[in-house]
Structure 1
């Protein structure tokens, strides 16, 4: 089907999957009074939905992107989602050091997508 080879589809799916995974991995940090076994089970339940989005993202993404490009997109999306999550949900600060570090990673992503030099 033509929609499966859309360049935007894997990006959208990776974005949604990273939202789920960020909550699965870090959402419990606001609930430190809960038993660890309970947050592990809850995290696994949330992560199931992440897999339901990430696997198709990579399957459909491989129709239009190289594996290196897919992994690079996933890494950059993860950083963006985590930055927003940590500020809005965990109420942590975002400093200039974070911005510079993320900019350096984004520079690396640029070279992955640029092609041969």
Structure 2
């Protein structure tokens, strides 16, 4: 007997994994400024393939349970969270109070997307 996970768990799990790959593809090369640009593009493209392998099923599985706008909102919140952690842990960048305020405002926007106004 197999374990069936709820649609939100599968969708959000795949979106988290896809965003980790995409963040690495887009920003991981910043520590390797001496690498040739063509090499960086090709390596990033290869990494991004794994993002698509998870992003497309996440949207397909999640659509119906979530609206397209809700799926995009979930993806953006995850993307910002993954990026903030990546830039802090991998790139060593400082996250200030203004980042927290901006992120809180984006989360407030997400609340509006998910709130049923009818």
Shorter-chain-normalised TM-score: which range?
over 0.9
Hey, what does 1:69 align to over in structure 2?
Answer: 70
* TM-score where L is the length of structure 2: 0.94
Q: CA deviation at 1:5?
A: 5.8
Hey, what does 2:35 align to over in structure 1?
Answer: 34
Runs of 4+ residues over 6 Å off in structure 1: none
1:39-98, Cα deviation, whole Å (9 max, x unpaired): 000000000000000000000010310000000000000000000000000000000000
Residues 8-23 of structure 1: matches in 2 within 5 Å? Answer: 8-23=9-24
Hey, what does 2:86 align to over in structure 1?
Answer: 85
**1:5–1:63 CA distance, 2 compared to 1 (3 A):** farther
Q: How many residues align?
A: 116
CA distance in 2, matches of 1:76, 1:113: 13
Q: CA RMSD in A?
A: 1.4
CA distance in 1, matches of 2:89, 2:6: 33
Q: CA deviation at 1:8?
A: 1.1
* TM-score where L is the length of structure 1: 0.95
Residues 95-106 of structure 1: matches in 2 within 5 Å? Answer: 95-106=96-107
The runs of 5 or more residues in structure 2 that have no matched partner are: none
CA distance in 2, matches of 1:57, 1:64: 11
